[in-house]
Amino acid sequence: MQTVHDPYRTRLTAASQPIERQEPVIHGNKSGPLSQAQLQQFDEDGFLFLPDMLEPHALAALQRALAEVCHDQQLKHLPEVVTEPQGDAVRSVFRVHELHSTMEKMTSDPAFVAIAEQILGSQVYIHQSRINDKPGIVGKGFNWHSDFETWHAEDGMPKMRALSVSVLLTDNEPFNGPLMLIPGSHKQFYPTLGETPKANWQTSLKAQQVGVPSPEHIRQAYQHGGIKMPTGKAGSVLIFDCNVLHASAENLSPLPRRNLFFVYNSINNKMNKPYGAETPRPDYLAERTPYPVSGRRQRSVLAI
C-alpha cells in the first residue's frame, strides 16, 4: 500500500466528501480526428457516443472473433475468462487484444489511437482489454463505479489520464442492459468505503461490492448531471473518461448485449504500487509494462 500523499484516497474506514478532479480531462492541445465541439462534449460529459463507426466487414470480423474467444474450449479455463455469478455463461474475457489478432488489430487502429492521443496528450498503451458478453436472460449487471477508482486502488494508476473505448458488437437497446452514465461525474472523485479484500478481483469481476460509491454520492452526482444511456446499432462506439460514473442493469431480454472494451492509458501514467490494496492485480487485468501502441502501419476501418 502507498504511503506518499494521495489526492484520491479511497477504500476508507469512514465516509468522506467528494474530491475535485486534479487533472484536466483533455490533456494538452494535440490535433486529431475529433472536432473542437466533440472534444468539448467529452470534456463536459465525460463521454462521447459515435454512431455507426465501423466498416461492415470489420464489425463482422470482430463478431466472429468474439464468438471464437468466448467459445474456445482451450481458453475456457484461463483466469481471463470470467463467468456469471450463477452458472457457467461467459460474463467477461480479459486481455482479448493478446488472445485474438482481430482484437489486437482493432486496438491499434490508427483512428482510435489518434483519438486517444488527442485526448490524453501523449503516446498511449493498452492498460486493459475485455469483452463483456452480457448474454440474454442470464447476464447480470455492473454496479455503479468509476473505473479509475478501481485502477487507482487496486492497480496503482496515479492520475486520471486514461480512457475506455467501447465498441458495440450487438445492438445496445434500452432493454438489454446498456451502459448508463452520469454526465459530469468525472469531475469529482467519490471515495468509497470499505477495505479491499485479498484477491478481490476473484469476486469483484462477477459482482462488485467494494469500490462502489455510496447511494448518497450517486444521488448527488445524478442531481447534478442526470443519467444518459447511449443506445445504438452494433458498430457504434462509446468513448468514456476513466473517472465517469457508470453502471448497467441485468439483461432480462433474450438478446445478448456484447461490447468490446479497451483502455488506453498515457505512457506517462504508469502504474505505481496499489493505493488501496496490498498487492497489484495480475497483468491480464492491468498491464504494468507500457508498450506504446503506434497505430500507424494499417488502414483505419473507422468512419471518422
Closest CA to 167 of 263, 247, 245: 263
Q: What CA–CA distance (Å, rounded) separates 195 from 57?
A: 46
Residue closest to Fe ion, measured at CB: 147
Q: What CA–CA distance (Å, rounded) separates 226 from 303?
A: 30
Least gap, CB of 143 to ligand 6CS (angstroms): 8
Pair 277, 11: CB distance under 8 Å: yes
Q: Which does 140 bind (CB under 5 to 8 A by kind): Fe ion, ligand 6CS, none?
A: none
Least gap, CB of 151 to ligand 6CS (angstroms): 6
User: 61 or 142, CB closer to Fe ion?
Assistant: 142
Number of other CB atoms surrounding residue 5 within 10 Å: 6
Neighbour-count burial for 243-253, b at 16+ CB within 10 Å, e otherwise: bbbbbbbebee
Report DSSP letters for 210-232, one per residue. Answer: TTPPPHHHHHHHHHHH--B---B
Would you count residue 154 as binding Fe ion (CB under 5 A)?
Answer: no
Least gap, CB of 45 to ligand 6CS (angstroms): 18
User: 33 or 141, CB closer to ligand 6CS?
Assistant: 141
Rounded to 5 degrees, φ, ψ at 246 are -150, 165
Least gap, CB of 210 to Fe ion (angstroms): 14
Least gap, CB of 285 to ligand 6CS (angstroms): 6
User: 112 or 261, CB closer to ligand 6CS?
Assistant: 261
Interface segment toward Fe ion; rule CB under 5 A; list 52-60, 77-85, 139-147, 155-163: 139-147
Least gap, CB of 303 to ligand 6CS (angstroms): 26
Q: What CA–CA distance (Å, rounded) separates 48 from 240?
A: 6
Would you count residue 147 as binding Fe ion (CB under 5 A)?
Answer: yes
Site residues, ligand 6CS (CB under 6 A): 128, 130, 142, 145, 147, 150, 208, 285
Q: What CA–CA distance (Å, rounded) separates 200 from 128?
A: 17
Q: What CA–CA distance (Å, rounded) separates 47 from 56?
A: 24
Size of the site for Fe ion (CB under 5 A): 1
- C-alpha dist (Å) from residue 91 to 97, 172, 235: 17, 16, 20
Closest CA to 120 of 245, 34, 18: 34
User: 128 or 185, CB closer to ligand 6CS?
Assistant: 128
Binding string, 67-106, against Fe ion, x = CB under 5 A? ----------------------------------------
Interface segment toward Fe ion; rule CB under 5 A; list 63-71, 95-103, 141-149, 272-280: 141-149
Least gap, CB of 38 to ligand 6CS (angstroms): 23
Contact positions vs Fe ion (CB under 5 A): 147
